A and B are shown apart, each in its own frame.
Chain A
């Protein structure tokens, strides 16, 4: 039996799920994010990002350099709301 390889630890997404999404038409990080929520948890893709790039490159037969970076969203690191509110 093949082992489950967790790629996105925040959202519990496995390599198999990612490969399946790519095989059914996703060609960019932005699409993977929207299909599987990869990179949308507390780490915001800092852990899984490079792995996703290499999986996309492997499955699409591309050089990792050709894989478009995803949009960087503020505030980059999780920030408590009280930081904005309290004096």
Chain B
């Protein structure tokens, strides 16, 4: 293997792989460097939801494109990535939350998202198993959905390989510096030279950035998830309960129910362990909403990282070091953001200009703390 590349992508999760996929289609000579295996970080630990119901124009615009890209993957890869539009149902238990939904729906409709506010009766029709006690309304978009993260990564890997992109797996980057071009040293001593480098290493991006003097406002948090055995399909949408003791879960097309909750207070740090309190908590939260889940068996539970920024929006930009790009801080939305983000980023890396306005994701923005719920 000749170790000179036009672009070196560090991090083989959804963001790095999507970017590599689109770069490889443009004939760029590239390598993906990954310290584990493809998808061993946050992408492989996520539950695969894809939604357009956001409150920020840039994100909504990006997610519209993502839904389109996910729907084309089966044709591009030659196999099914389990993309399915079951919708996303966001629940309001308080007037304040409902008001936020109403505001967001106005923004989303401007972007032509098919979203509406449902009454508890409508919600019961949509999900007959739901317990509507305390629910005052719900925001629903039927075009949101899900896909299988590993199938998506496998598809990208297949096409990148066909396009002669290289992979260096199970090798951690120990040195990164720039002297006209970038030189990267891996733990086994392998040296790589690249004209441009992308850091798409999720929670590990901050410490990699420090190697070249970047101070990135990225913070890892531990989240957890669980999955049940397969059951006949009995509800369609991802159900999101925004209460501080809420949760979110959906049924995969193979019948398994997969769910998470956002811990309050958060659990900081790069941690992928599983806690003792998670299963009793998630079981209580999920069965409060869908009591029939009491008879479902939990097969497995695991931990993984969100990479947060102070305002809950990602960092997607070229850094102050020319030719060094950063795509991280997805704040729990990396998988759903990935395809369109990779497409835009590949264009930016090659042509030096963005195909849409990403100033909300700029590396130099003020990062004002954002307390709204749909971040």
Contacts and interface: CB of A to CB of B under 8 A. Distances in A.
Given A28-B37, A34-B39, A74-B279, A85 B298 contact: no
B150 interface: yes
Interface string B279-320: 110011011000001111111111000000000000000000
B1 to A, nearest CB: 15
Interface residues of A, number: 22
A86 B154 CA distance: 41
A44 B280 contact: no
Contacts, number: 70
Nearest to A81: B283
A28 B283 CA distance: 32
Contact of B287 (A41, A79, A82): A82
Interface string B127-161: 00000000000000000000000100010000000
A81 B286 contact: yes
Interface string A22-63: 000000101100110000111010000000000000000000
A80 B229 contact: no
Contacts of A85: 280, 283-284, 287, 294
Contact of A78 (B39, B154, B229, B279): B229
Interface in A60-84: 71, 73-75, 78-84
B229 A74 contact: no
B279 A84 contact: yes
Given A35-B150, A74-B274, A75-B279, A81 B294 contact: yes
Interface of A: 28, 30-31, 34-35, 40-42, 44, 71, 73-75, 78-86
